[in-house]
Structure 1
Amino acid sequence: MLKFNHLFNTLVLLFPIFTYASFNVGFKQINLDKVGSRPLNIAVWYPAKNSGETIAISDNTVFYGSRVIPNGKPLLSNNKYPLIVFSHGYGGSWRNLSWLAYELTGQGYIVVAPNHPGTTILNRDIKQSVQLWQRPRDLSRTIDAISIDEDLASYIDMNKISAIGYSLGGWTVIALAGGRFNTALFKQDCMTHSNLKACELVSDLGLDNPELNNSMKDPRIKAFITLDSGLARGFTPQSLKNMDIPSLVIGAGIDVGDMAVELESGYLQQFLTKSLSTYIVIPDAMHFSFMQVCKVGAVDLLNKESEGEGIICQDGGTRERTEIHRELSYLITGFLSKIFLNTAD
């Protein structure tokens, strides 16, 4: 298994990842199909002109947020901006990766992130959550929506689209990029690895529904990144081998008890084409290290609400979460910059 190593990190740090100047970050929301059967609340971060008041988003008693210019005017550039679509984890929301969206926008990307109905913190509707195949489609619909947005469509390079998914969002972007899930394979694997969190979610996510065996690929995706992905072992080895776009698979080295990195992200690494895929395990990261930075006292506050919930704010080593995030930013921005700087317009 390829673990995170100092040589690779050094190469990433030396790579000229800060190709773009540092941009001000504009922010808007798109409410798609509000009266339909699957409405999407989509968050959008984009490079903006330095005008207008800023507000804090994703900031609450537990997590630090970031300051953005609401509905700010987009910043005109000589080149169009690459697009990144985000997918959050089970029971999360677009806010969980808002810190990363802010960082990437500051380097010249436009980032879009929907809340997936049925699997967000404020929407656990079982009728929606069991339609897991809708998650990749949510991302395709999000790309469709931003591609015709009257404010931003003309600023986006639609030939440079990537996807980043955390936890269940990792499964989502793999399916979006061409991975084929097989319910029979998943069921069989859970007989051997029943301790995995994924195997406890069969009823909640409809993981035995044959609809999941269909292709959910969106050919517009040119690269993808997974952050401590779950449900990986349901993807067929052949479909992973057939994926012909670059990927960055990042796992958390310290298991929270039911998401061993060797059995999830490590499974992907076995079959993805080595020349196109990079696999890195951050030794002192836990599953929740990929979420926002927690405020002082957040662990106690969460544990008072629900015993054990404070694990969301815990990391596995001596480093602060801000340091882990800094490492993630270098790795992710370096990976994306290398791909899209070498992609012909």
Structure 2
Amino acid sequence: MRTRLIALVLLASFSAFPAFAAPGFRQTTIAATGARPPLSISLWYPTTSTAESINLGETPAFVGLPVIRDAEPAPGPRPLILLSHGYGGNWRNLAWLAGELAAKGYVVAAPDHPGTTTFDMRSPDTIELWQRPRDLSRVIDTLLANPGLAGSVSPDRIGAIGHSLGGWTVMELAGGRFDAGAVMNDCPRVFGPVYCRTFTALGVGRDAASMAALGADLGDARIKAIVTLDLGPGRGLTSESLAAVKVPVLVLGAGENVDPETAEKASIAATNKDSFYLAEHLPPTTTQFALVPGALHFSFMQLCKPGAAALIEEEAPGESIVCRDAPGADRQAVHRDVSDRIMVFLGSALADR
């Protein structure tokens, strides 16, 4: 989503644990480190509070979810799940999933990645793509050191989920290595014009230093499970690095594709080719792969209200694609399917160690 959509946006199971009603919710900021700017993070977590809830993220276009702001966290330690949004997105995009996870006993943290979020698309952060995985590592550091924020976190039960460019981000945490030189060498043929324009905006392949930074090992050994939601650009990760990934990975792709050439202003019109690529090259014994019926690329984002597409189109022409699902599909049903798959996967991958 681009800047013209910002105004519209701003108007507004883990079997070992019991289910919680409205989760606690808190926002905080991690201080700047070196040249990296402050990092805004949103937190959902289990709470036994019975205080009045608010409808988080409710806008004229999007459905909100009940949370109890700044509630006292329930006792831990608990597994932690990191959420990484797509290019031009923000923490609201996967808030629906965060609420589901917190209700099952997980602590959930979603940063707004500087340079690639709705709220900040400025250079030089935009062209330092390798900082995205490091953002998530900073979040882990902060939550382990400050249990008062969202409750005590179990350091050996940490997972990460990413949509679109967020899926690429979490695969980097698992040890994926990105070959910017190979990507840009034959970009139009392999990826298509929409991808290539986005790569250029992200500074991919602009010089030797950036290619080296993108190709470096950005893994974090504390990550024990990964979920990708119609990721992109997965095909830029080397097959060798994917084959060496040690942690369990659940790869969920859109059941149908948006044609990149008719995707209007879709930021990084990922296709499920990237998900197929991951499934082909990740270790088969620790990888699960499925296409989600009825899902297009943006079906993994928050629920749209009736009439939302027309409202968004009026405010930001071309951006109504974020409310598009496959013909006849129901996004709420897609979310239920995705959530069920994720809960089963994480319940096994992050079982009490």
> Is TM more than 0.5 here?
yes
* 2:73–2:151 contact (8 Å) kept in structure 1: no
Mean Cα displacement is larger for which, 305-314 or 163-172? 305-314
Per-residue deviation, 1:50: 2.5
**Residues 87 and 196 of structure 1: CA distance in aligned 2, closer, same or farther (over 3 Å):** farther
Q: Aligned to 1:42, what secondary structure does the other structure show?
A: strand
**Residues 152 and 33 of structure 1: CA distance in aligned 2, closer, same or farther (over 3 Å):** closer
**Residues 35 and 336 of structure 1: CA distance in aligned 2, closer, same or farther (over 3 Å):** closer
Which residue of structure 1 aligns with residue 310 of structure 2? Answer: 300
After TM superposition, the structure 1 = structure 2 runs for residues 188-203 of structure 1, keeping only pairs within 5 Å, are 188-195=185-192, 197-203=194-200
Q: Distance between the aligned counterparts of 1:103 and 1:194, measured in 2?
A: 34
> CA deviation digits over 1:52-109, x for unaligned, max 9?
22112111111111111111011125xx210001100001001100000000000010
Q: Distance between the aligned counterparts of 2:348 and 2:186, measured in 1?
A: 36
Q: Distance between the aligned counterparts of 2:32 and 2:216, measured in 1?
A: 27
Which residue of structure 2 aligns with residue 244 of structure 1? Answer: 246
Per-residue deviation, 1:18: 4.7
> CA deviation digits over 1:176-206, x for unaligned, max 9?
1100111122123414224263322122111
Which residue of structure 1 aligns with residue 69 of structure 2? Answer: 70
Q: Distance between the aligned counterparts of 2:58 and 2:299, measured in 1?
A: 17
Which residue of structure 2 aligns with residue 109 of structure 1? Answer: 106
Q: Distance between the aligned counterparts of 1:290 and 1:186, measured in 2?
A: 26
**Residues 34 and 185 of structure 1: CA distance in aligned 2, closer, same or farther (over 3 Å):** closer
After TM superposition, the structure 1 = structure 2 runs for residues 28-177 of structure 1, keeping only pairs within 5 Å, are 28-33=26-31, 37-76=36-75, 80-152=77-149, 155-177=152-174
Q: Distance between the aligned counterparts of 2:142 and 2:329, measured in 1?
A: 39
* 1:27–1:44 contact (8 Å) kept in structure 2: yes
Percent identity between matched residues is: 41
Which residue of structure 1 aligns with residue 182 of structure 2? Answer: 185
The one-letter amino acid of 1:29's match is: Q
* 1:82–1:160 contact (8 Å) kept in structure 2: yes
* 2:257–2:272 contact (8 Å) kept in structure 1: no
* 1:135–1:172 contact (8 Å) kept in structure 2: yes
Which residue of structure 2 aligns with residue 215 of structure 1? Answer: 217
Q: Distance between the aligned counterparts of 1:117 and 1:125, measured in 2?
A: 8
Q: Distance between the aligned counterparts of 1:202 and 1:308, measured in 2?
A: 20
Q: Distance between the aligned counterparts of 2:327 and 2:341, measured in 1?
A: 19
Mean Cα displacement is larger for which, 103-112 or 248-257? 248-257
Residue-pair matches, total: 326
Moved over 3 A (4+): 16-19, 34-37, 259-262
Q: Distance between the aligned counterparts of 2:150 and 2:73, measured in 1?
A: 11
RMSD: 1.8
Q: Distance between the aligned counterparts of 2:148 and 2:330, measured in 1?
A: 38
Q: Distance between the aligned counterparts of 1:178 and 1:196, measured in 2?
A: 28
Q: Distance between the aligned counterparts of 1:271 and 1:196, measured in 2?
A: 25
* 1:33–1:39 contact (8 Å) kept in structure 2: yes
The one-letter amino acid of 1:324's match is: V
Q: Distance between the aligned counterparts of 1:224 and 1:134, measured in 2?
A: 18
Unaligned runs of 5+ in 2: 1-12, 261-268
> CA deviation digits over 1:226-282, x for unaligned, max 9?
000011111110000000110000000221112464421111111001110011111
The one-letter amino acid of 2:177's match is: R
The one-letter amino acid of 1:26's match is: G
